[in-house]
Every structure is written in structure tokens, then in C-alpha cells.
């Protein structure tokens, strides 16, 4: 039963003669309440219980003999079948029969169709009815369509779609249906009409008989119980009643006597006893020998109040009867005391009838049986992908243009010979007022100036005590002043400003006397009094220290002009919520035009407001209805932008969550009116309630929702004042805040015990009013606004009517009722499923035009918030839960996030991954934990990416506006963090943390992955990013704990170890560099272990890694020298490069590759040709040899470029490293000599490679740009600093370019033929990614699939980890130009990976779905591919006779090797 009943239900009780009282539906409210209605209504009239009778006179009605129509089924004992051709490719087959039990007719419908979106649009027919009735027994997933038909989804099975319908209502004679293909928006009909299926009838005959009505009623009740006590409409109640009658008639027809029937029915579950009591009660209308004169409607109302006070228990029929008798006695006692019936009616309305009922303590059942059936949906239907483009503002450094008053102030300050004590410029609409207090010649002087157009008079006084009005002494009055009682009036003087169209009015007052502390004043202009936000202006005569304001910066990354406008208008917005919401509405056009950054500005401002960082009300009296009207205006505009700009929907939802719903007309005014009703009804007009009343009249705010809740908590807990303060404080309201209101609340509440019930009732109803205005996202009010309500009570919600939102999905109201019934369940799994199902049902409506869209949005936001709350409450439920249950919770929260955010493709694939992991666990797949761990890692990456996108979008605006408005710095610093914590992402992160150790333990992963197992001793230094310190040199051995490691970084000098929670690939560049430099490198999966190491910052630690663990211990400083290993103190190896010369050839074929012409990369790939097994494919290659870059640069075509490059290189030699980027850009300006083009074309064509120029000049230019980018990568920061570290002469570094045709790979792999983590030469280690290999060797987050394989058993690869990389790179048929320098493979220096390989065409970034990838889901395919990769690695190692580092791809199951080099 709804908790917001109030007097509206009392009115219903009096006006409605049939009030339900069955089970939990005691004195049930109207049909659109949030709780089920009882199916069979009963009425208490006086002491007599009358069971409702059907309007049809049944009497001795003969049983209806069920005969057969010859359409589809004629013989009930057999199955009849008929086929129909719907179109060329679609066939329909309908089978009709009866199961052996004979209890239900069965219709099987099968359609031959490839479509996934078939629905049966159907209904049932009863005798002599043309209108469809909707049977209660329905297939899973059935929806009610406009209350006129049912829509049931077919279940797809191969090329067929099937559906089974069972009809257990004997009154139903036929089914009619159409078939709707939702995916094609196509209807299938029978000759333009409905398909008609007659149901087989039981073949029996019987003489004319009747069944007593009391037995029909009992049978109807038993049917209702069997069906789970569903909520029935009056029409459904009637249908159920007749169905019960037909069941009993069939029993009689089979030979059961009426007496046997009665015995059978009344012997079940105590029905006999309760029926006798009810019948007994119905025979007497006398209580204690007195005839009762109390009208039935008053008894019903009093019984309801008793039931509500008792805690709304589930009464048995006997208890129901007793409650009515107790209610009647209480009213009779009042009548005996001399009260009239009218007096009693009034007392009931006010809750003043004394009642002795106590709260009925019931233990809530948390049964998991009561769950909704979730529909099966295509998850990809949830996909949203947008590319919002913010309007980049051109932030000019030009100085701000001063207003006339600001310029006047500067000029006046320059003229004053003395200190400036106080200065303030007030906003008067679009005009200004300057008040300047100075002390020239030791005398206080006040300067005033304004640009108001009409003549201005100053109405002023002086104060010896702050704020008081004292008439100024006549000696201080300027000329043209008039002395008044306690004040004076002085006219401003008009001054013309040179070369300006406007005029300034000014006034100077010399006070002199230091006994005065300030000056209160107001202005009079144009017949109007002008005040400071509704109060007097007041200027102090003391030196006010200048407020030191943090520099707001340049506003980069923000909509600066909009934020500046907001900052200018904040003083006006502080007046009231009405002002703030109207200003926000006025700025919406500018915000929308500025794109995502503009809306971010509005969000930041509204969020600062919602978190009470801004003033809510300042000396301004505003009516609640004016606030709600302003809210309504703003939310209407937000709704309109939501419709027209779908790419901004996520941020618009966030804005709406900070703003109440609002509403025109009486919605706001009721706040003022209804507090008076509370005070009048409950005799509480003084003290705290009066102070709150004054606050509400002056300026209501969201604080009032909290205050109302605090009062109810205080009353419910035996008037415990500590509970009142706890509720307030828990919601951010302190005593100081209560005192800060314009109408302060000084007092604490004090109520009498006899006021308890009335106050709880009235405050509960008042909460509904407050939430209707302030809490748009509150779940109960959001549901009510969508389902509609109408109230006609006394005092509360008087005459309010909100119509239901039209077009809600069938069954949606029942789904919301399920949610509200379970919203406080301790075991939250069923609730979460209901919340998610409601959001899924609601989602299609959010993208459709509707004038009630914002009500649906507020409902969706409230459901989203309820998910987060439920998950947090469910942590206890998961304390000892199975992995399967935790994964189910995670999948629900991931689903919730996908419904809340834009660009949700990555999250959707995470959700599909979680579903697959759960299926693997259920099917006992021994890889389930390893796969689930990869999904967990990917989900964490997705959350991190989302947090980063929020930070980039919102934090700059928060910092800029926060500084402009003087918001507390701590609130600015955590702005984005709090935005994230307010959503379900934080709950998801907590769930992942719970599951992670379980998965690691199950999959035997341990707490570490050791990438480079080197023992190390060093001092702990904690950094955010390895990238930020890669060029730093540490003076003492350092263990770096880096929170972020992407994969392409360098290891800084002096670092002996890098520990990280991040997950770089074992074969990434930074991993290879760590092993080459003998630096310990490991990933730590346990946050507690990592936190402990971080706690040792600045201390000396000893790390001792194994292949799967890292043992660490603290050391003393004097132990450092003795423990330092030789490689840590030895100097870097002395390396030299041989300068390469231009051979005179611009291009060469692979047969011409030599060490003088190309690097090891090109030579190795040429060496493999013809020597590896035939099933290992080697791509065709040509090359631009060493010296070609230098030759091109020296060509006359490029003289200007060469001179420019020479100047830049000199600057670089002088230590200006910022010049590296300009050098790279200069290289890209080179032009290609014709001879280079000619030779490269000949070599490529003769080798069987496509020539880009054949596709047009533009394609050659693309290829030429790619070649130049390879050359330019010689000056990459990472590569340049790497050569400096090992003292290589950068000028001697030469770059050949290897040219290969790109294989458009399904997968790419890297093999190390000796396991790099364990240094075990007997096993191969490899990593595999989807798409091109750049995601494996480059800085792409996430892990690759990794596996090992023993060389003596190459057919048994063992997967170590499944992939978590969210992005794959794919490309059209193209050419790639690979770097091949003379510095990449020097012994003792790992130059590989430092320089760029550039494809001619850009790769497409694709978000990866692993849940359908054969490498993940097909174990045979996975085994075949991984074994082939291992065999290729073994063969190449055998060819070279040494460990190899091999790169390759897989295309259509074939292995291609694109390069190999010695493993470092």
C-alpha cells in the first residue's frame, strides 16, 4: 500500500462503498496505487460481510455445453495441424491439442523465418463476444499492448521461430492473432484479417444444474491464491469469477456432487472455519446487545486507520472481521459520549479518535522466489555511439573592457590622496552602483556613483552600531539635502563623460566623525525604491582587507565566455532558486551552441549549487510556486535539448539530476498552503514549526525535504531529539545552516505524545508535496508522476491531478509496483533485476518525442540511483557469496551503466564478456576464472577511461568557475571524483575489487606478474606516471612505484626496479627495455601489497623476484654498498655506430639486402624466404636503403628544407630539446626526387607489389608522407633520449625503410622463443591480439592473450591469460613502411621499437567483442592457431640457432611472419 495515502484515501473510503480488505490489500486505495488490488472484492457493511455478486443473474443457469467449430481443431483427443504460406520464404504452422491432464488447451505456433524480431499479436474470444479478452496465463516475455492485445515474442531455434500458448480458462473458445515482424515493421495477416483458431472443448453433457454462489466465491479466491494474488482490474475480476464457476460446473458434470464439492473446497487451509465465521458475522448486525447506528463508510475509514497504525499487517479473514468490530466499538464509544456523527466524521479526518491498537510487529520475508521474469534482449540494441564536438573558443588575451562605473572608480581612486578603506560595485540589473570609502586628509569620505538613467536620490543615515539608522548631523549634510526622521535625502549630481553617450550620477559625503561605523542607505529613482537584493545597502567605515583570489587561469578547455557570464550573474542568482533557475534557463541557448563544453559549464554551476557551495537565498522573499515555475521552465528546456541533441544526453541527465522537477501552478504553492494545514490539524503553531513555516513561506529549498524527514524520524523514534539531529547532519544540515536561513530556525521540535499519529500522517503527505517540487529524481515521486494520481482530500494535494504518461509498455506499472514493494529488501538481487528490467522497458521511450519526456527522464534517473543504493546495501549479501553470484551482480551493474552513458560500446562488450564468463562457470569450463579475470581487467580499464573523460570535460570548468565564485578549494579538487562516486561506477569498482582475489586464487595467478625477474635494492619513489619521469636521472638506486605504465616508456637512469598496478604486455617496449637493462619490472595485482610498498617511500627496499612472486624487505642504508650488484654500478657500455653512405640506389629488392644497405630487420626477413616451412608465409619486401634520406635532403629540390633543418639541429645540439617536434615537421616538408619515384616503382612492380601511384597521384603522396614519417621518427623524444643515454652519436644513426604489403590480419602475434619472465629456454612465450600488432607493441591499454608452449610438445599450448585490450586496429589492403635503422639491434642496446613503422593508410580503431571471437569461444580453433604460432617460432629459432623475437600475423588461419630479430 502506498505510504502517501493521507486524507485523499480517507475521502475515498467514505465515498467508495466497496473497499477491498483481502490479504495485504486492507482498505485498498485506488487502482493506480503502487500496490496490487485484491482480485475478489468484499465489502463490510456494519457487521455483515457481503460477498460481491456478479451482475449477471446466474441462478439456476444451465451449464454451457462446449461444442466444436470446424476451423482448426475438432477432436479434443488429438492434435490438429494446419499450414499457411505467409509469403515466398515464410510459412506458418499451427498445432492445436489438449495435454493428457485435460486442464488446458495448447496452441503451438511455428514460423519458418530468419527474422529475430517476430511477435504474436493476439487475444482470446469468449462466447458471444467480439472484443478480445486477455488471458492471465501467458508465454514468458508477453507484453500488454494498449490494454487491448497481448504481444508475445517467438523463441528462435535455427531457421524456425516457435511459440507455445496454454489456455486454462474454460470460458475461452477461440484465439485470434496476427504476426508482426518488428525488425522489418511488417504485418502478416490472413486474407487481410485475423487468423482464427477454435479451441477444442471437453466433450461432456450434463443435466441442467447450478452451483451455489458461496462455492463459486471460494473457488475464485483459491484461483487468485494459485496465481500469486495478482492485481486484477474489475473486468479481470469478473472473468476470474466466471472461470471459477465454469471449473465447478465441469466438476459437477464429471459426476461430483454439490456436497462433495463443498467438502472439498471448505476443508482446505482452514477455509471452513473462516467461512463459518464470516457467515456467522453476516447473520447478525448487533454488538453487545446494542443496535449500531454507525454508517458503514465511517467504520471502514476507522478500520483503515487502525490497520495503518498497526503497521499495515497482512490480516487473516478472522482478523479482518475482528478489526472491523473494534473500529465499530471505538466509534460507538464516541457516539455514547455525546458526539454527533458529523463530529465523529471530523475527528476521523484529523485522526483524533482514540484507538488502542499497537504496531503489529512482522518479520519481513526476503524470499528470492518473488522475482520478475527478465526478457531476453539483443544487447547490441543498447548501443549508443556519438562524437560530441565542442565549440573551441578562441580565448583572446586582450584586456577586459571596463564599464563606465569601473572606469569612474579608477579615475576617482587616482585622484584621492589617502588610503582606500572599502570599495564595492553593486549590480543593479544591467546598471551599476559604486560605493567607495576613503580617508583623504584623515577624514572619512564616501563616494557614490551610478549609471542609472533616471535622476537618483540617496535616502541615507549613519550608524554608531552596525545596521542602525540614525539621522546624520546637519553639519554633515551636502547641499540640496533634506533632513528626515532618522534619515536624510540627498540628490545625485549628473556628470557628463567625455566622448561617451552615457552619463554618470555621483555624490560625495564627508563624514569626518570617527564615532560612526557605517552608513545604511537605499536609492530612489523613477519612483522606485532600489535595495540590495531586497535589503538596505550598508557600507562599513573600516578598512576591508582585499580578498586574495586565486588566479582563475586562461579558461583553456572550457566555455570561458559562458563561465564568465555565469560568474557575473552569480550575485543575482544568489537571491533565490527562482533567480538561479531562470538565469540558467536564459543561458541554455548559449550553452547548447557551445556544445559539450557549454553544457559542462551549466552542470558545474548547478552541481556547485546542489552541493551547497553557493548561496541558496539572500534577502529575497519568493513564493514556492515561483520556484517551481522556474524549475519547470529550466527542465522543459533541458528536455528539448535532450530531444534535439542526442549526442549530449549523458551530460543533460547529469544536469537534470541536480535540478528538481518543478511544475506550473499549484505544485509549488501547495508548499505554503499545506504547512498551515499541518499546524492547524495538529495544534503545533509555535516554536520550531512556526520558524519552519516562516522559512517555507520566504524561500523553500531542497533542505526542506531533509527537515521533513528529520521530523518524522524524530517522532517515530519516541521523540528522541538526537535522531532529529542525526538525520539533519547525515544530509549536510548543521545547526549553523539552520541559523543561516533568511528566516532562521532557532528552535528544536517539541511535540506531545497525542500529536504523534496525526503528525506522522500529515508530514508523510507533506513530504510528497516537497518531493514533487524539489526531488525530481526521487523514485516514489518519479513513479507517481509517470503513472499519474488524483487527490480530492482535505488539505493535502487538494484537487491535484497528474495524468499517466501515455504509451507506457504493457505491464510497466506492475513492474514499477514490484520495484516499490521490494525497494527496502535486505537481499537485493530480485530488486536489482526489477530495476534493470524497468530501465530496459523505459529506454525506447527516452528516444521518442513526448511532451512528458522529462517525467520519463526523472524516472530513469531515479531508477539508476536506486540501483546504486541497492548495490551498496547488498554488499553484506555478497560477503560469503559464490563467484557466480558476484559476477551476476557485476553484470547487472555493468548493464545499468550501459543504460546511463553515451558511447557505451566498450561497456556493452564487457557485459557480453561477463555473460560468457557466467556461462563458462555454469558449464564447468576450467578456463572460466582466467577468462573472467580478463573481463574484469577490461571493465576496470573502461571505468578508468570513463573517469578520465569526465575529468577532461568537467574539471577545467570546475576549476575556472570555482575560482571565479570563491568555491572552497577542496570542493573544486574533488569535483570530478564526486561526480563519479555519485553514479554506479563506484559500486561497480567495489564489486570488481571483491571478485578479483577470488579469480586470482581460482586461476592460480598469484598477486604478481613478474615481467623482468631481476633482484634489486633501491629507495622507493612513488610517481603517477612512468612517462613523466622517463627522462629523469636518479642519483641513487631507485625503485619506482608507477601508478600508470602504458608500454612505450623508457626506464629512467638510476631506476633499478619498476612496480606498477598497470598491465603492460610482457612483450611491450618498456618490458623489453627493462629486461635488456636488467631492471626488475613487475605488475602487482594486490592493492594492499602495493599500498604497503608505497608506505615505504623514501626507504631502502630489497626486492627478490621469482617467476610468479616478489618478496621484499626493508634494509638499512649502510647495507646498500655491500648488496649492490655489479650491473648496478658499472658504467653504460661503450657503443659506436658506423656512418652509412648512400649507395647511389634509391630502392632495392630483397635479393639485394646487405648489411651495408639495410638493417637487420630487412636482412632477417629476406633470410627467411625459402628456408622456413612452406606453411609459414613471408611477405614480399623491398627497401629504401641507408643514405636515401641524406640524398633526398641534399637534392636541390630540398635546399630550403635542408637549411632550415641545419639551423634546428644546431639548437638541438645546444640543449633545446623542445625543438624535436619542429624538426620532425620540417622533415615532412621534403619533396621526392623523380629518380626515387622511378626506382621505387620499378622495384615494387618487379617484386609483385602494387604501386600506389597506379591509384592516382594522391595515393603516391600518401605513400611518400608515410616514408617521411619513418625518417622523421629518428627525432622522436623517446628515441633521441635513448641514444643520449648510451652515448651514441645521433648524427651517425641512419634509417633504411623496409617496404611490405600489409596483411589485413585477423590476429597479430609476437613470439619470444625463450620465456622472458622465467628465462626458461625450453618453452616459448607468445602474445596474441586481434587485428594489427601495433596494439601489442604500442601504447595501447589492456593485455594480450598470452600463452606458453614447451618446445618438446608444440601441440600443447597453455593459455596464461585472455585478452583485455578494448581496441583492435584493422586496415584495408595497403603498404606499410617499417623503420630499419643501424641502431636497432646493437648488442647491449635495445633500439627495436624506438622508431616508427607507418602504414600508407590510417588504421580503423575497432572496439573489440571477445564474446563471439573463435579464439576465445572455440577451443579447437584456439588450440590450432596457438600451436601453429608456437611451431613457427620453433622453426625460426632452429634456423638461426639462437633465441628469436618474432612478429607475425594470422589471416584466415594462415601464419605470416613479418620480421624476426635476436631476442634481447
Is residue 176 within 8 Å of 195, Cβ to Cβ?
yes
Provide the pairing of β-strand 456-460 with 1454-1462: unpaired
In Å, what is the CA distance from 295 to each residue of 46, 280, 289, 299? 7, 20, 18, 7
Of 1403, 1372, 1146, residue with least CA distance to 1255: 1372
CA dihedral 621, 626, 628, 629 (to 10 degrees): -160
Q: Tell the residue number behind the cell numbers 523613477, with chain if given.
A: 526
312: alpha, beta or left? (left if phi > 0; alpha if psi -120 to 50): left
DSSP character at residue 148? T
How many angstroms separate the CA atoms of 1232 and 1237, rounded?
Answer: 7
Q: Output the CA angle 1166-1167-1172, nearest 5 degrees.
A: 110
How many angstroms separate the CA atoms of 1047 and 1064, rounded?
Answer: 5
**The C-alpha cell of 1437 is what?**
629459432
**The C-alpha cell of 240 is what?**
476470474
Q: Give the SS3 label for residue 167.
A: strand
1287: alpha, beta or left? (left if phi > 0; alpha if psi -120 to 50): left
Burial of 55 (0-12, 13-18, 19+ CB in 10 A): exposed
Q: Give the SS3 label for residue 565.
A: helix
Of 874, 878, 909, 880, residue with least CA distance to 894: 909
**The C-alpha cell of 1010 is what?**
613478474
**The C-alpha cell of 372 is what?**
520478475
Burial of 367 (0-12, 13-18, 19+ CB in 10 A): exposed
**The C-alpha cell of 1201 is what?**
628544407
Q: Give the SS3 label for residue 228.
A: coil
Q: Give the SS3 label for residue 1441.
A: coil
- 1069 an active-site residue? yes
Is residue 1285 within 8 Å of 1053, Cβ to Cβ?
yes
1054: alpha, beta or left? (left if phi > 0; alpha if psi -120 to 50): left
Is residue 1432 within 8 Å of 1154, Cβ to Cβ?
no
The active-site residue out of 459, 579, 1069, 1312 is 1069
| Chain Cα centroid distance, residue 867 | 10
Q: Across the chain, how many H-helices and E-strands are there?
A: 45, 51
Burial of 957 (0-12, 13-18, 19+ CB in 10 A): buried
Provide the pairing of β-strand 528-530 with 518-525: antiparallel
851 Cβ contact partners less than 8 Å away, ≥ 6 residues apart: none
Is residue 1142 within 8 Å of 1107, Cβ to Cβ?
no
Q: Give the SS3 label for residue 63.
A: coil
Is residue 179 within 8 Å of 122, Cβ to Cβ?
no
How many angstroms separate the CA atoms of 991 and 993, rounded?
Answer: 5
**The C-alpha cell of 1267 is what?**
616514408
For the chain, state the CA radius of gyration.
41
Provide the pairing of β-strand 1295-1301 with 445-450: unpaired
Q: Tell the residue number behind the cell numbers 565542442, with chain if given.
A: 390
In Å, what is the CA distance from 40 to each residue of 57, 217, 229? 18, 8, 10
Of 1075, 1068, 1063, 1082, residue with least CA distance to 1338: 1068
Active site residues: 1069
Amino acid at each position: 500500500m502506498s505510504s502517501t495515502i493521507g486524507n485523499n484515501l480517507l475521502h475515498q473510503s467514505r465515498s467508495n462503498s466497496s473497499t477491498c480488505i483481502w490479504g495485504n490489500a486492507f482498505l485498498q486505495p485506488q487502482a493506480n496505487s503502487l500496490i496490487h488490488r485484491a482480485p475478489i472484492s468484499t465489502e463490510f457493511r456494519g457487521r455483515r460481510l457481503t460477498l460481491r455478486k456478479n451482475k449477471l443473474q446466474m441462478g439456476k443457469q444451465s451449464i454451457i455445453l462446449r461444442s466444436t467449430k470446424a476451423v482448426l481443431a475438432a477432436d479434443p483427443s488429438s492434435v490438429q495441424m494446419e499450414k499457411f504460406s505467409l509469403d515466398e520464404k515464410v510459412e506458418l504452422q499451427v498445432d492445436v491439442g489438449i495435454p493428457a491432464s485435460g486442464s488446458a488447451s495448447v496452441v503451438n505456433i511455428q514460423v519458418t523465418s530468419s527474422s529475430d524480431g517476430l511477435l504474436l499479436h493476439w487475444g482470446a474470444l469468449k462466447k458471444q463476444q467480439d472484443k478480445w479478452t486477455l488471458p492471465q496465463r501467458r508465454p514468458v516475455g508477453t507484453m500488454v499492448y494498449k490494454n487491448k492485445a497481448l504481444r508475445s515474442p517467438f523463441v528462435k531455434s535455427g531457421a524456425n521461430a516457435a511459440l507455445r500458448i496454454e489456455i486454462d480458462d474454460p470460458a475461452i473458445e477461440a484465439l485470434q492473432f496476427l504476426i508482426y515482424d518488428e525488425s522489418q515493421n511488417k504485418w502478416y495477416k490472413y486474407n487481410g484479417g485475423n487468423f482464427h483458431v477454435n479451441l477444442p472443448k471437453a466433450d461432456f453433457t450434463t443435466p441442467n444444474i447450478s452451483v451455489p454462489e458461496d462455492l463459486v466465491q471460494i473457488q475464485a479466491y483459491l484461483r487468485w491464491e494459485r496465481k500469486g494474488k495478482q492485481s486484477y482490474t474489475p473486468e479481470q475480476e469478473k472473468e476470474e469469477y466466471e472461470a471459477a464457476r465454469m471449473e465447478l460446473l465441469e466438476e459437477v458434470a464429471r459426476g461430483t456432487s454439490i456436497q462433495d464439492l463443498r467438502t472439498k473446497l471448505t476443508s482446505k487451509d482452514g477455509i471452513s472455519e473462516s467461512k463459518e465465521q464470516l457467515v456467522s458475522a453476516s447473520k447478525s448486525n448487533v454488538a453487545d446487545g446494542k443496535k449500531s447506528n454507525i454508517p458503514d463508510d465511517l467504520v471502514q475509514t476507522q478500520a483503515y486507520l487502525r490497520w495503518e497504525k498497526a503497521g499495515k499487517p497482512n490480516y487473516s479473514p478472522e482478523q479482518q472481521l475482528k478489526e472491523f468490530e473494534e473500529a465499530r466499538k471505538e466509534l460507538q464509544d464516541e457516539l455514547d459520549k455525546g458526539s454527533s456523527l458529523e463530529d465523529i466524521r471530523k475527528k476521523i479526518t484529523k485522526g483524533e479518535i482514540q484507538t488502542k491498537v499497537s504496531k503489529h510487529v512482522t518479520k519481513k520475508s526476503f524470499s528470492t522466489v518473488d522475482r520478475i521474469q527478465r526478457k531476453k534482449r539483443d544487447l547490441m540494441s543498447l548501443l549508443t555511439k556519438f562524437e560530441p564536438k565542442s565549440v573551441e573558443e578562441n580565448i583572446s588575451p586582450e584586456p577586459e573592457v571596463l564599464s563606465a562605473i569601473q572606469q569612474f572608480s579608477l579615475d576617482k581612486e587616482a585622484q584621492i590622496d589617502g588610503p582606500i578603506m572599502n570599495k564595492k560595485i553593486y549590480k543593479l540589473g544591467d546598471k551599476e552602483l559604486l560605493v567607495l570609502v576613503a580617508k583623504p586628509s584623515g577624514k572619512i569620505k564616501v563616494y557614490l556613483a551610478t549609471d542609472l538613467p533616471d535622476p537618483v536620490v540617496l535616502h541615507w543615515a549613519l550608524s554608531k552600531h552596525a545596521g542602525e539608522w540614525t539621522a546624520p548631523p546637519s553639519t554633515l549634510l551636502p547641499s540640496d539635502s533634506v533632513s528626515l526622521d532618522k534619515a536624510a535625502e540627498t540628490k545625485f549630481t549628473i556628470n557628463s563623460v567625455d566622448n561617451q553617450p552615457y552619463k554618470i550620477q555621483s555624490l560625495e559625503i564627508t563624514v569626518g566623525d570617527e564615532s560612526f561605523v557605517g552608513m545604511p542607505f537605499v536609492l530612489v529613482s523613477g519612483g522606485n525604491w532600489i535595495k540590495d537584493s531586497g535589503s538596505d545597502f550598508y557600507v562599513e567605515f573600516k578598512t576591508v582587507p582585499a580578498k586574495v583570489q586565486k588566479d582563475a587561469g586562461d579558461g583553456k578547455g572550457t566555455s570561458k565566455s559562458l563561465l564568465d557570464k555565469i560568474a557575473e550573474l552569480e550575485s543575482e542568482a544568489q537571491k533565490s532558486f527562482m533567480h538561479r533557475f531562470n538565469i540558467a534557463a536564459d543561458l541554455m541557448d548559449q550553452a547548447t551552441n557551445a556544445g559539450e563544453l557549454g553544457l559542462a559549464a551549466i552542470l558545474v554551476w548547478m552541481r556547485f549549487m546542489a552541493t551547497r557551495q553557493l548561496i541558496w537565498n539572500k534577502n529575497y522573499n519568493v513564493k514556492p510556486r515561483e520556484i517551481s515555475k522556474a524549475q519547470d521552465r529550466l527542465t522543459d528546456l533541458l528536455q528539448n535539448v535532450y530531444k534535439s541533441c542526442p549526442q549530449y544526453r549523458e551530460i543533460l541527465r547529469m544536469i537534470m539530476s541536480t535540478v528538481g522537477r518543478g511544475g506550473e501552478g499549484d505544485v509549488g504553492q501547495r508548499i505554503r498552503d499545506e504547512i498551515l494545514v499541518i499546524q492547524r490539524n495538529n495544534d503545533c503553531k509555535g516554536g520550531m514549526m512556526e520558524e519552519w513555516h516562516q522559512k517555507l513561506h520566504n524561500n523553500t529549498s531542497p533542505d526542506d525535504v531533509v527537515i521533513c524527514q528529520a521530523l518524522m524520524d524524530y517522532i517515530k523514534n519516541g521523540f528522541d531529539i538526537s535522531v532529529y539531529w542525526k538525520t539533519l547532519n547525515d544530509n549536510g544540515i548543521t545547526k549553523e545552516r539552520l541559523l543561516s536561513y533568511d528566516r532562521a530556525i532557532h528552535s528544536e521540535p517539541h511535540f506531545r505524545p497525542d500529536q504523534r499519529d496525526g503528525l506522522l500522517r500529515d508530514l508523510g503527505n507533506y513530504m510528497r508535496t516537497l518531493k514533487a517540487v524539489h526531488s525530481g529524481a526521487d523514485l516514489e515521486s518519479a513513479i507517481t508522476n509517470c503513472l499519474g494520481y488524483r487527490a480530492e482530500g482535505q488539505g493535502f494535494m487538494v484537487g491535484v491531478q497528474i495524468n499517466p504518461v501515455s504509451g507506457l509498455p504493457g505491464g510497466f506499472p506492475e513492474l514499477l509496483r514490484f520495484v516499490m514493494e521490494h525497494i527496502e529488501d535486505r537481499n537485493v538481487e530480485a530488486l536489482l533485476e526489477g530495476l534493470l528490467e524497468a530501465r530496459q522497458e523505459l529506454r525506447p521511450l527516452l528516444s521518442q518525442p513526448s511532451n512528458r519526456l522529462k517525467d520519463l527522464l526523472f524516472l530513469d534517473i531515479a531508477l539508476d540511483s536506486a540501483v546504486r543504493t541497492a548495490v551498496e546495501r547488498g554488499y553484506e549479501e555478497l560477503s560469503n557469496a559464490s563467484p557466480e553470484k558476484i559476477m551476476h551482480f557485476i553484470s547487472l551493474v555493468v548493464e545499468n551503466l550501459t543504460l546511463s552513458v553515451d558511447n557505451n560500446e566498450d561497456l556493452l562488450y564487457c557485459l557480453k564478456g561477463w555473460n560468457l564468463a557466467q556461462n563458462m562457470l555454469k558449464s564447468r569450463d576450467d578456463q572460466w576464472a582466467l577468462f573472467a579475470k580478463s573481463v574484469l581487467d577490461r571493465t576496470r580499464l573502461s571505468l578508468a577511461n570513463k573517469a578520465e573523460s569526465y575529468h577532461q570535460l568537467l574539471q577545467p570548468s570546475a576549476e575556472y568557475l570555482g575560482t571565479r565564485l570563491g568555491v572552497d578549494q577542496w570542493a573544486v579538487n574533488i569535483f570530478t571524483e564526486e561526480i563519479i562516486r555519485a553514479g554506479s561506477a563506484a559500486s561497480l569498482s567495489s564489486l570488481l575489487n571483491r571478485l578479483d582475489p577470488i579469480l586470482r586464487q581460482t586461476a592460480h595467478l598469484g598477486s604478481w606478474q613478474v615481467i623482468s625477474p631481476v633482484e634489486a635494492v633501491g629507495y622507493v619513489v612513488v610517481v603517477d606516471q612512468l612517462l613523466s619521469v622517463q627522462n629523469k636521472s636518479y642519483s641513487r638506486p631507485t625503485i619506482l612505484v608507477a601508478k600508470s605504465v602504458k608500454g612505450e616508456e623508457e626506464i629512467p637512469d638510476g631506476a633499478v626496479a619498476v612496480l606498477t598496478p598497470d598491465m603492460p604486455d610482457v612483450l611491450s617496449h618498456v618490458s623489453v627495455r627493462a629486461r635488456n637493462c636488467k631492471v626488475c619490472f613487475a605488475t602487482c595485482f594486490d592493492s594492499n601489497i602495493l599500498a604497503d610498498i608505497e608506505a615505504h617511500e623514501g626507504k631502502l627496499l630489497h626486492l627478490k623476484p621469482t617467476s610468479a612472486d616478489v618478496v621484499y624487505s626493508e634494509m638499512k642504508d649502510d647495507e646498500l654498498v655491500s648488496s649492490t650488484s655489479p650491473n648496478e654500478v658499472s658504467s653504460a657500455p661503450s657503443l659506436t655506430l658506423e656512418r652509412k653512405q648512400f649507395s647511389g640506389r634509391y630502392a632495392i629488392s630483397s635479393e639485394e639486402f646487405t648489411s651495408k644497405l639495410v638493417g637487420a630487420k630487412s636482412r632477417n626477413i629476406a633470410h627467411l624466404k625459402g628456408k622456413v616451412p612452406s606453411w609459414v608465409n613471408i611477405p614480399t619486401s623491398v627497401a629504401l636503403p641507408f643514405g636515401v634520406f641524406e640524398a633526398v635532403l641534399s637534392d636541390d629540390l630540398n635546399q630550403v628544407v635542408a637549411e632550415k633543418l641545419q639551423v634546428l639541429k644546431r639548437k638541438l645540439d645546444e640543449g633545446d630539446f623542445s625543438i624535436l617536434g619542429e624538426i620532425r615537421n620540417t622533415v615532412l616538408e621534403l619533396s621526392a626526387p623523380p629518380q626515387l619515384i622511378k626506382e621505387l616503382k620499378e622495384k615494387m612492380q618487379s617484386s609483385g607489389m602494387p604501386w600506389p601511384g597506379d591509384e592516382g597521384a594522391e595515393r603516391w603522396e600518401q605513400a611518400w608522407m608515410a616514408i617521411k614519417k619513418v625518417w622523421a621518427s629518428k627525432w622522436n623524444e623517446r628515441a633521441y633520449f635513448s641514444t643520449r643515454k648510451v652515448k651514441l652519436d645521433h648524427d651517425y644513426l641512419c634509417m633504411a625503410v623496409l617496404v611490405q604489403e600489409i596483411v589485413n590480419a585477423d590476429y597479430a602475434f609476437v613470439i619470444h622463443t625463450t620465456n622472458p619472465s622465467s628465462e626458461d629456454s625450453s618453452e616459448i612465450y607468445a602474445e596474441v591480439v586481434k587485428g594489427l600488432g601495433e596494439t601489442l607493441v604500442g601504447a595501447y591499454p589492456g593485455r594480450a592473450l598470452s600463452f606458453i608452449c614447451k618446445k618438446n610438445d608444440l601441440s600443447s599450448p597453455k593459455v596464461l591469460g585472455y585478452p583485455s585490450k578494448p581496441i583492435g586496429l584493422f586496415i584495408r589492403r595497403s603498404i606499410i613502411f617499417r623503420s630499419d635503422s643501424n641502431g636497432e639491434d646493437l648488442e647491449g642496446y635495445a633500439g627495436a621499437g624506438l622508431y616508427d613503422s607507418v602504414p600508407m593508410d590510417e588504421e580503423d580503431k575497432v572496439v573489440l567483442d571477445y564474446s563471439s571471437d573463435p579464439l576465445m569461444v572455440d577451443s579447437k580453433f584456439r588450440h590450432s592457431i596457438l600451436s601453429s604460432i608456437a611451431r613457427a617460432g620453433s622453426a625460426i629459432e632452429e634456423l638461426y640457432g639462437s633465441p628469436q623475437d618474432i612478429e607475425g600475423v594470422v589471416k584466415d588461419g594462415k601464419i605470416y611472419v613479418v620480421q624476426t630479430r635476436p631476442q634481447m
